[in-house]
Structure 1
Amino acid sequence: MALIALAADKGSPGVTTTALALAAVWPRRALLAETDPAGGDLVYRSRAAHGGMLDPNVGVLSLAAAARRGLAAEQLWEHAQPLAGGLDVLVGLGGSEQAAGLTGLWPVLGEVFSMLGQAPNGAADVIADCGRISGDSPSLGLFQHAALVLLVARTEAEHLARVRDRAGALSAKLHGSQRGAGALGYPPIGVLLVADPGQSARIAAQANEMLVASQISARVVGTVAHDPAGADMLTGRRRGRLDKSLLIRSARQIAADVPNRYGVFR
């Protein structure tokens, strides 16, 4: 089992929605971790299994306090809360002010996340929502322990250009400066495009051609359907057949493809 880190370069392309959807349909047990240093969103968007609000003080903040005293992977569950629907989540920070208290702890958390897959009790994959990243984002400390990094982007020209540049910079940071050697880099970097379903195949092919031409060690993994109604159903703000939504159907395809393509279950 593995740590899968999701992030974006700029704006709000839908990282949290994508991470939530993937975790909800992941083929094995999953723990969704909100690791955006700017703060988490689920405490405002989603309901706990008991029908009330999620506790903002139980999650990454309480986990970070425990990590200073040493932390075993199984202890992650002590800081997790179940969402309505059963998915376990580590609620994110309340804001960027709290991130200062986690200085130096991000690599520690990344290591513990990656070890949860081998935990004798309660093993699971961790899907980490890292939010927006830049060259000095503290959450980059997680990436060195990830089995796969997925960059989420929309399909407008400026967003594609930005994800290309971010993938290149991230590859240089994680894999070294050699270009065109993506197959050898670890962790691998993939791109998820949030797209209208009717245009997804064409845009994904164009984006892949752009990455290849730029000799960047990243490839488009798949497309997540731009589906506001499905996103509202996912967080409980709208009734409907969530399993039939375009969002969940596209997330299922990605969740099926990623383990086979990248071998993250080995």
Structure 2
Amino acid sequence: MTFIAFASAKGSPGVTTLSLLTAALWPRTSILADADVTGGDIAYQMIGESGQPLNTDRGLMSLLPIARKSLDAAVVPQHAQTLLGGIDLLAGLPEPEQAQAVEKLWPTIGRAFATLTSHDVLADLGSLRMSSPHLQLAREAEALVFVMRPRSTQVMHMRSRLQKLRDAMPGATPRFGIVVVAPQSDRRNAEAAVASLGEDVLRFTDYLGHVAFDPKGASMFEGQVLNRPERTVLVRSAVPVIENIAALAGITLDAGQVAAALGGKPAKPLPGAPKPSRKQRRGSSAPEAPAGTPGHSTPGPGAPAPAGYPAPQQPPASAPGTPPQSDSRPGTPRSGMPEGRVASAAPEPTVEIPRRPVGSPGRGAAPQPGTEPAPTEPPQPPAPPADRPMTRRERRGR
């Protein structure tokens, strides 16, 4: 099918996050390969579909020895592990020395990725430079997507790196693209950073779009559970970018096909989505069934429409003069409350009113006829202790 690689010129601008997000929203059958030669991280920060840690010896560690003789592309899916959420992963190499030792095998791995007919391969290459041992792996990709931040230092490194890699990879493939990771409000700054690369670089590099810098949304790839992760700024900003990545690789997607994956088609939920309850797994019609869980093909309530961006639920309009009613559904943020939490209404304080015994008159009440009020005696001073002599004032009063 298609082999797409993700890389950076220097540092960690978000290559792994974009690779995981693309694999989670990819509408076709795919495998994510952790090919970062400085050491794979995905197998350590994600867990398997059974909730257990992943086997780091299964992936490239088990695939590279086979490549010493001959590697059939059909063998590649057999070395993948399924992550919680449905992503198939080829775990990376634990140490950078191992990637250097198998430098001659990377072209064989690249050809197997490019000729695989059952899956698309999305590879996280990490930092890519001219001296990288997996440079031959990048040559076999159909599209090479670079990630950077809108900073002057990264723009300078990216400009030099793209020019050198283009000279080292003549021909029509791989096609170069660039994605900028910046806050959602910095769209103009992201476009200005791409323009700073220069016309000579943009002649062979396509600008694929701007992905929002969202640490809260990216935490779902670090084991955090989010309420409706498809509504995060990270996911919504990545939908058009993923469509452009597919077009760069020569894949034509139907309108809204990537956005349809957010509603559970196919059944590959985002890793941060909460697990369904036992009643929901049995097919109950409970209104809180999360969309996109395995074996659940019907989108849950509040799920975005298949064609378009996910839109938040709007509260019903209230009549004039009536105070607006708050929405207490799970996952619906209230004013002043963080997303994913539900504000609980504090109970009003209750005041206990002391009640007089039955039959006892109240203050100022007149006595009942035929009854005489009890005589009242004047208050007596307290008696002094027996072991203390009386004072003169006490003797006079006595």
TM-score (norm 2): 0.60
Q: Quick one: which of 183, 198, 213 aligns to 2:199? A: 213
Q: Does 1:248 align with 2:235?
A: yes
- Report which stretch shifted further, 95-104 or 7-16: 95-104
Distance 2:121 2:92 in 1: 14
Look up the match of 2:365: none
The code of the aligned residue for 1:228 comes to P
Distance 1:15 1:204 in 2: 16
Paired residue secondary structure (1:197)? coil
- Is the contact made by 1:152 and 1:191 (CA closer than 8 Å) also made in structure 2? yes
Which of the two has higher C-alpha Rg?
2
Structure 2, gaps ≥5 residues long: 254-398
The code of the aligned residue for 1:192 comes to V
Which 4+ runs in 1 deviate beyond 6 A? Answer: none
Look up the match of 2:23: 23
**Alpha-carbon deviation of 1:247?**
1.6
- Is the contact made by 2:156 and 2:197 (CA closer than 8 Å) also made in structure 1? no
Q: Quick one: which of 154, 177, 184 aligns to 1:197? A: 184
Look up the match of 1:91: 91
Structure 1, gaps ≥5 residues long: 176-183
**Alpha-carbon deviation of 1:261?**
4.3
Q: Quick one: which of 160, 163, 169 aligns to 1:165? A: 160
Look up the match of 2:225: 238
**Alpha-carbon deviation of 1:265?**
5.9
**Alpha-carbon deviation of 1:220?**
1.8
The code of the aligned residue for 1:165 comes to S
**Alpha-carbon deviation of 1:100?**
3.1
- Report which stretch shifted further, 62-71 or 30-39: 62-71
Q: Quick one: which of 125, 131, 139 aligns to 1:130? A: 125
Distance 2:201 2:44 in 1: 40
Look up the match of 1:154: 149
Which has the larger share of strand? 1
The code of the aligned residue for 2:132 comes to S
- Is the contact made by 1:33 and 1:89 (CA closer than 8 Å) also made in structure 2? yes
Greater RCO (Cα-Cα under 8 Å, separation 6 or more): 1
Structure 2 CA distance for partners of 1:261 and 1:96, relative to 1, 3 Å: closer
Look up the match of 1:58: 58
Q: Does 1:77 align with 2:83?
A: no
Look up the match of 1:227: 214
Paired residue secondary structure (1:198)? coil
- Is the contact made by 1:9 and 1:132 (CA closer than 8 Å) also made in structure 2? yes
The code of the aligned residue for 2:67 comes to A
Structure 2 CA distance for partners of 1:102 and 1:264, relative to 1, 3 Å: farther
**Alpha-carbon deviation of 1:98?**
1.6
Distance 2:227 2:23 in 1: 19
Look up the match of 1:9: 9
Distance 2:7 2:109 in 1: 16
Distance 1:67 1:246 in 2: 41
Which has the larger share of helix? 1
